[in-house]
Structure 1
Amino acid sequence: MCVFTHTQPKSSRLVIRIARPRSYAATFLAAALSGLFLFYGFEACGDVAEEVADPTRRIPRAMILTILVGGVSGLLSFAGYVLAAPDLQAIVAGTDADPIPTILVNSLGTLGTVGAKAFPVITVTAFISCVLSLQAAGSRLLYAFARDRMLPGSRWLSHVSDKHSVPTNALAVVCVVPILIAPFVFWRPDTLARVTAFAVLGIYVAFQAVVLAVLR
């Protein structure tokens, strides 16, 4: 979209005029979530440190590369969405509350047959990659708590497969719980925002708890 789809005139790419003054506090906080998600995930490298050879050298390197690759790819994606947006004023004003589908529909026609087919493949691949990384990190984190007997059913959750050398029970729980949540969100779409907010707050409360513990 950065290359093929530019629907905005040059004068409106950098300056967006608003008809009336308004508070940008909520908009700023919502936009800040993009930055949080953009650079989030580097700590997952540490969750699999016990399974990595020479972790003291490779894990920090993987964390740095995660931030760099994620940051660059995310910024390019945002730039593509902004340049391909058919109506930036509607997005800023809030009349187009969910602009991503509008942008994609508007852009796919300009990408050609090959581009229109390649884009969904790239998107699905990215989602699968995210799911696999979250499952790997979440299962190891659950296993670590269970190994230290900090969870109910710790003995079962801390089981490690002799054949595959992975915490199979913890991995199964991490896979099953989202499957159970998905139908609930499907029938009650309004709960998706609550589930997402809970996940985001939980992540950063946990991060800050470690920071506060160190400062204390």
Structure 2
Amino acid sequence: MSDQAPIGKPLSLWQVTIIGLAYMTPMTVFDTFGIVSNITHGHVPLAYIFALTAMLLTAFSYARFSRASKQPGSAYSYTAQSIGPRTGFFVGWCSLLDYLLLPLINVLLSAIYLHALIPSVPYVIWALISACLVTLVNCFRIRILANISLLFVFAPVLLMLVFVYLVITGINQQQGIEHVLTLQPLWHGQTEFSTLVAGASVLCFSFLGFDAVTTLSHETANPTRNIPRAVILTTLMGGMIFFTASWFIQLYFPDNSRFKDPSAALPEIVFYVGGAFFQSIFLCGQILNTLASGLASHASASRLIHIMGKDNIFPKKYFGMLHVRLGTPLFSVIFVGLISMLAMFLDLAQVVSLISFGALVAFTAVNFSVFVKFYLRDQQRLGLKNKCLNLLLPLISVICIIYLWVNLDRTSLLFGCAWLSMGILLFFYKVLKKQNIVITSAY
């Protein structure tokens, strides 16, 4: 094991972007459509515009930090550099909740989809196979993951294009081309700003992935140039995919009246549009999509743990080292894999509502850190440009995130506070241990 950066050919801009898109799970738009359509009264594409705007503001903050720093670690490193290591520790600890739960959720979803396709194999076996497969791939060099992610992202996007084609031809044959060339999916009738914000608060967490690419700095060519670009590209491309797909779903389903279960509308959406055969193919694409997200989220989680291990928050002997031959944080990868295996015993409803807390802490911390570092510490205040970049934009971003905090699920908030309490106990344990070492060495 070694604490040096991995050897081998580094990732390119587009490989990092593909990993970010895989993390975002593009086909999640079908899973959340029925829920958000009910909240927004049939204005899902408009809610995506709200969500994309809020996420672009925060992504810009991440891009600014990644341009100014070669250190990976996402919100953890950026907050530690600008505000201090203690604050960085708590932000990193809260973010870790989000990073650890995403691989677990993807394993859980993969097992659900695979069990639906082949019910003769028990769900527990599918969960175990999914967790082991994702862990095994992540043990090898990151370029292997990038190449697999390209395949797993391309296939679902291709299926989404087929879906769009079927929607256009179906509406054209049934109602005429004038019902295709319309702005009805974006705006029809009156809507309330509060419902759009509520819908956007659900959709914002579809964009998780732009922050994860910042953990790959040490494995990326020219990171101060490519990571900021990858952050913005991941957000924009993901937003375009989400908006386009939601537009054509909303065009075909103006409301939820045709859905038996709006909270799980994906099977009904693809069945009504393409029939039973297309529904089966689409479900296979959804499995690939979930595996792609599982691979990417596993990679990001293991690297965040590795970075925190290098800082001795976790035992450096294990978590802070890279495997000499593989060039990966092998111990951290296996640790995340073991956590993912908890999917064999947990229910989706128990886990999915808990994922928001860490993301909101990270987003708030990074936006505030931009203000602290560039406006206060570096004193970049003169001129309209500096005032906009270092004061106005971070302030607007924090306000947008506050709207999301207001809509945070109560269960997520309670569980997040419990996780934070564990972090506080770990922090004081580290402080007391350090003081004991100092006292012992004095004697």
Fold match, TM over 0.5?
Answer: yes
The question of 1:107 aligning with 2:270 is answered no
- Please, which of 245, 248, 257 is the counterpart of residue 80 of structure 1? 248
CA shift in 2, pair 1:28/1:99, >3 Å: farther
Q: 1:210 aligns with which of 366, 375, 384?
A: 366
Task: Map 1:1-216 to 2 at 5 A.
Answer: 1-5=163-167, 10=179, 13=185, 14-15=187-188, 25=194, 28-34=197-203, 36-85=204-253, 88-90=255-257, 96-109=262-275, 115-116=278-279, 118-151=281-314, 153-185=315-347, 189-191=348-350, 195-215=351-371
Deviation at 1:62, TM superposition (A): 1.6
Query: Kindly tell me: are residues 155 and 141 of structure 1, through their superposed partners in 2, closer, same or farther at Cα, counting changes over 3 Å?
Result: same
Q: What is the rounded CA distance, in whole Å, between the counterparts of 1:119 and 1:24 in structure 2?
A: 34
CA contact (8 A) 2:267 2:279 kept: no
Shift of 1:100: 2.7
Higher relative contact order (CA 8 A, sep 6+): 2
Which blocks of at least 5 consecutive residues in structure 1 are unaligned?
none
Q: Shift of the alpha carbon at 1:162?
A: 1.0
- Cα distance in 2 between the residues matched to 1:126 and 1:32: 22
Q: For 2:302 and 2:210, how far apart are their aligned partners in 1?
A: 16
CA deviations over 1:84-103 (Å, ceiling 9, x no partner): 33x615389x9744333321
The alpha carbon displacement at 1:70 in A equals: 0.8
What's the secondary structure of 1:198's corresponding residue? Answer: coil
Instruction: Name the SS of the counterpart of 1:53 in structure 2.
Output: coil
Deviation at 1:60, TM superposition (A): 1.7
Q: Is the 8 A contact 1:17 1:89 kept in 2?
A: no
Counterpart CA distance in 2 for 1:51 and 1:173 is 20
Alpha-carbon distance in 1 for matches of 2:370, 2:232: 22
For residues 157 and 91 of structure 1, do their structure 2 counterparts lie closer, same or farther at Cα, with a shift above 3 Å needed? farther
Tell me: CA distance 1:190–1:27, structure 2 relative to 1, closer, same or farther (3 Å).
farther
Distance 1:29 1:133, change over 3 A: same
Structure 2 CA distance for aligned equivalents of residues 120 and 98 of structure 1? 13
- Residue-by-residue CA offset, 1:96-133 (whole Å, 9 max, x unaligned): 443333212212318xx5x5564334322222221111
Gap change, CA 1:89 and 1:167, over 3 Å in 2: closer
* Whole-Å separation in 2 of the counterparts to 1:95 and 1:125: 24
| Equivalent position amino acid for 2:352 in 1 | T
Equivalent-residue separation in structure 1 for 2:296 and 2:261 (angstroms): 35
Quick check: 2:306–2:320 contact (8 Å CA) kept in 1? yes
In 2 relative to 1, CA 120–91 (structure 1 residues): closer, same or farther, beyond 3 Å? closer
* Higher mean displacement: 50-59 or 165-174: 50-59
Q: Is the 8 A contact 2:166 2:274 kept in 1?
A: no
State the TM-score, normalized to the length of structure 1. Answer: 0.75
Does the CA-based 8 Å contact 1:39-1:67 persist in structure 2? yes
1:137, distance to aligned residue in structure 2 (A): 0.9
Cα distance change, pair 175–77 in 1 and its aligned pair in 2 (3 A): farther
Aligned residues: 199
The farther-off stretch of 139-148 and 72-81 is 72-81
Q: Which deviates the most, 131-140 or 172-181?
A: 172-181
What is the alpha-carbon distance in structure 1 between the residues aligned to residue 190 and residue 200 of structure 2?
18
* RMSD (CA atoms): 3.2
CA deviations on 1:121-152 (whole Å, 9 max, x unpaired) are 4322222221111111111111101110113x
Q: Deviations over 1:155-177 (max 9, x none)?
A: 32223111101101111122221
Larger Rg: 2
CA distance in 2 between counterparts of 1:89 and 1:16 reads 16
In the alignment, residue 297 of structure 2 is paired with which amino acid?
Answer: L
> Counterparts of 1:138 and 1:100 in 2: how far apart (Å)?
28
